[in-house]
Amino acid sequence: MTRSRKNQSPPDFVGRPVWAEISLSALIGNLRAIRDYVNPASEKRKAPRKVLSIVKGNAYGHGGPQVAKILEKAGSDWFGVASAGEGIEVRKAGVRTPILVLGGFWPGEEKNLLQHNLTPAIHRCEQLLAFEAAAAKLRKKNVPVQLKIDTGMNRLGIMPKDADCFARQLAKCKHLNLAGTFTHLASSEVLTETELGHQTQQQLDRFYSTVERLRTLGADPGILHIANSAAIAARPETWADMVRPGAILYGYHPGFDPPERRTEFEKKLPLRPVMSLRARLMSVRCIAAGEAVGYDATWIAQRPSRIAVVSAGYADGVHRSLGNRGALYVRGHAAPIIGIVSMDVVMLDVTDVPDAAIGDVATLYGTEGSHVYPANVVARSIGTVTSDLISGVSQRVPRFYLS
Ligand SMILES: Cc1ncc(COP(=O)(O)O)c(C=O)c1O
């Protein structure tokens, strides 16, 4: 659903009044800011660095196919998804830009990838021959694949010592083309002079020596990419030929160590939150001091109080651990969440929100006019990261794409 910004009133729709507003101008602005940042005018390069927009996890909750469609128009060079299924959804939206399937494929999925023109990340040597066989069967030529190298995260990717095996297998694959080689950083947000703070450099060294080994063995590694959000913001030495922003595309710098460095990167690479999660007050009542609210009576009124029920619960993406901790913004005031978050509703203390009434809009995070209620602050308050919080906005919450 796309609406114009001119109409500032909340979206009109049938269903429970809980929704996410996705700001197209913030999303496109963030992509441009990232692209400009990794292509400083002072640096002379033959070709500008590319951007692979990470749209996995339903584009961190923003709507994978819709976000990819918007970012394709705005010039994203590649997209990154977790699985063939996510990639197919993006293709069905009409996106033609290359899509990298970061999780690779399960045996049997090769045909799906080939039919939808999805590029798998090869993270085990034996996947090459399986994909080659499928490409040969469908008579496809020059099919792109990318190689993921595990440089220290010990998650997915071939180990540097397996470069020889990979190059040998690749030489047998007449229908495949190695379009790119990449790795993923384990702790790029750690900027301290510690062992962890030096892990990124160690990963870079392993990456480039493996790439060199591939070249020596006659394999062209294709486009090289390494950097996630923290590395994009803080470590130009990781930018290579392309960068892979996730969190920053959606408006949030990751938490850095030390935390003070965040302000520096917010200044250098200013971003705007893309999603605002909102719901309406569906009930407002007064209760006497001493009365309890919600399951297990975990909140007890210390004074005569006005209690609002908001039509958003944990099945919508209001994290249950926000119970008795977080706040929603109503008429510009922070109204504390009281009691345990229920599946479909959450209760607020609106005693100090003058005139709070049924139908009022409550914002969990995002923007309201010129105010920003940052999701990273909400995430931090419950000990998680912004990406976890925003990608938890569930399917039953309608998304409105505002121009
Ligand atoms: C391989 C890969 N690259 C890039 C990203 C984007 O990470 P971030 O959200 O930190 O930018 C992810 C996300 O987990 C990823 O798995």
For residue 122, give the CATH number of its domain.
3.20.20.10
Q: Give yes or no: residues 214 and 287 share one domain.
A: no
| Angstrom distance (rounded) from CA 54 to CA 27 | 12
Q: Give yes or no: residues 202 and 82 share one domain.
A: yes
Q: Give yes or no: residues 303 and 357 share one domain.
A: yes
Q: Give yes or no: residues 212 and 299 share one domain.
A: no
Q: Give yes or no: residues 261 and 307 share one domain.
A: no
| Angstrom distance (rounded) from CA 187 to CA 310 | 38
Instruction: Tell me the per-residue pLDDT of 341-364, one tens digit each, with 9 for 90 and over.
Output: 999 999 999 999 999 999 999 999
Name 38's Cβ contacts closer than 8 Å, sequence gap at least 6: 49, 51, 227, 232, 236, 239, 243
Average the pLDDT over each of 11-25, 40-54, 66-80 and give the range with the smallest value.
Answer: 11-25
Active site residue 365: no
> Residue 6: its pLDDT value, please?
44
- The DSSP output letter for 46 is S
CA angle 379, 392, 309 (to 5 degrees): 80
pTM beyond 0.85: the answer is yes
Which tokens go with 188?
């790029």
Q: What's the full length of the chain, in residues?
A: 403
Residue 184 CA: nearest ligand 1 atom is 1
Instruction: Tell me the per-residue pLDDT of 177-187, one tens digit each, with 9 for 90 and over.
Output: 999 999 999 99
Substitution site in 37, 67, 102 for ligand 1 pocket (most atoms within 8 Å of beta carbon):
102
Substitution site in 31, 51, 54 for ligand 1 pocket (most atoms within 8 Å of beta carbon):
54
Average pLDDT for 57-72: 98
Residue 26 belongs to a domain: no
Instruction: Write the residue with the smallest CA distance to atom 1 of ligand 1.
Output: 184
* Among 221, 243, 268, residue at a domain's last position: 268
Which tokens go with 196?
């962890």
Are 401 and 3 contacting, i.e. CB atoms less than 8 angstroms apart? yes
Q: Give yes or no: residues 259 and 293 share one domain.
A: no
Q: Give yes or no: residues 279 and 259 share one domain.
A: no
Residue 248 CA: nearest ligand 1 atom is 11
Q: How far is the CA of 172 from the centre of ligand 1 (A)?
A: 31
Q: Give yes or no: residues 247 and 299 share one domain.
A: no
Active site residue 73: no
Number of domains in the chain: 2
Element (H, E) at 364: strand 361-368
Say whether pLDDT at 3 is over 90.
Answer: no
Choice among 37, 50, 56, 250 that is catalytic: 56
Q: How many CA atoms lie within 13 A of 326 on its CB side?
A: 29
Rounded to 5 degrees, what are φ and ψ at 126? Answer: -65, -15
Does ligand 1 come within 6 angstroms of the Cβ of 244? yes
* Among 233, 268, 303, residue at a domain's last position: 268
Does ligand 1 come within 6 angstroms of the Cβ of 51? no
Residue 342 belongs to a domain: yes
Residue 23 belongs to a domain: no
Question: In terms of residue numbers, what domain contains 148?
Answer: 38-268
Residue 24 belongs to a domain: no
